Amino acid sequence: MNAETMPAVDPTLVPPDPPKGVNGVQLVLTTVVLAARQIRRHLMRSFLTILGIIIGVSSVVTMVTLGNGAAQAAREQVSALGANILQIRPGQGFGRGGGGPQPPDFKPEDVEAIGRQIAGVKAVAPQAQSSGIAVYNAANWSTTINGTTRQYFTAQNWFPAQGRIFSGAEEQAGKAVCVIGSTVVANLFRDTDPIGKRFRLRDLSCEVIGVLTTRGQGGFGNDQDDVVLMPIKAVQRRFTGSRDIRNIMVAVDDGVDTAGVQSAIEDLLRERRKLGPNEDNDFNVFDTKQISDTVTGIYSLVTSIVTGVAAISLLVGGIGIMNIMLVSVTERTREIGIRLAIGAVGREVLMQFLVEAVVLSCLGGLIGLVLAAVAVAVIAPFMQVPVLFDPKINLLAFLFSAAMGVIFGFFPAWRAAQLNPIDALRHE
């Protein structure tokens, strides 16, 4: 074949001859420039090629970031229940459960026994809960009514920002006095100072003696500030109609092993509820730390599963790169033949196509990271979770996308390097 019969080729696709003494870095840079030119010539095809990589990287990073944020939010919400807190409830789950006879509630004597007989206990606060409409002038608000004792404030380390808690005499007499949360203040009293005011809670007139400090969202998404705290006897007398107690909160002294206190409480309650050696507990003692660990574990498991499914897109994207690169080798067979004919060696052709595949996958990875950042910024506020930027997962996703280019781009590049120059020049 002479110069007249030599097929024409786009000069922008043939790298210039490297100067004498060229090093490996310069050769790689030249190859990268050539790959960028090829990608620019086929923008739509290049975008469709890396679409799988983009979706995979953005999905993985978004899911992991939101999952970490959700787990952190869950830890913060559960920890808002209080540190070193044990929650005691009837039943074998977090609540009464379903099926079979309902286990009995606790008695006031059970609360007294825990405070008197269990070592390491800082405070024991029984709770009787209800709900109702609070009305003040023309405003009304549906809220939670929590009957408890003065020890509740110590157990929760939660005291009024204004006013005071109810006194021992008010607690014993079951006076209609209340300490309210900031959400109730905002929706009921608005710009009015609530201290000393009376409002109607169902059919009960209640005097506001204190306003709690703001806590925000609590465990399981509940608004902790949407609460009215009253002496437990007042709630039992006017709302629940029973002396029974649904929930007991136990605060453990700092430095005391909560597991030991938990075991001691279980033994005491089994004795008081007359459970035999072979009978299961008809109550449950929850450590808030155990709840936090359980919730965090669930979030982590779900995040791992969803991330694994999203990572499949990366493999699909890698296969797409391999397919398009094989098509590109076929289309550019003459170009490859010319390069080999004018002195290029197989490893240079291999590097050209391999770098092109890696550039494609890295470009997809970068676009995926940008889309993930946008998605997280938009979705996180709706989920009410913090944005926890993890550089490791972002770097890992990008490196994985680059690895897809190496793995799935190697075979087309190797195939191009193995072409016979004479056969390649004859290719139509």
Tokens found for residue 258: 């909560």
- Has residue 128 got a pLDDT over 80? yes
For the chain, the structural domain boundaries read 22-74+295-426, 104-281
Give me the amino acid identity at 285: V
pLDDT at position 209: 93
- Has residue 5 got a pLDDT over 70? no
- Has residue 21 got a pLDDT over 70? no
Question: Mean pLDDT for the chain?
Answer: 79
Q: How does pLDDT run across 367-418, given as a tens digit for each residue?
A: 989 999 999 989 888 877 788 888 888 888 888 888 877 787 777 777 777 7
Rg of the Cα atoms in the chain: 35
Percent of the chain with pLDDT over 70: 79
Mean pLDDT of 254-262: 82
pTM, to two decimals: 0.57
Mean pLDDT of 230-257: 87
Instruction: Compute the distance between CA of residue 175 and CA of residue 180 in angstroms, rounded to an integer.
Output: 15
Mean pLDDT of 275-288: 83
Instruction: Compute the distance between CA of residue 262 and CA of residue 118 in angstroms, rounded to an integer.
Output: 10
86 and 80 in contact (C-beta within 8 Å)? no
Instruction: Compute the distance between CA of residue 380 and CA of residue 387 in angstroms, rounded to an integer.
Output: 7
Mean pLDDT of 80-97: 68
Distances (CA, A) of 146 to 125, 152, 173, 206: 11, 10, 17, 13
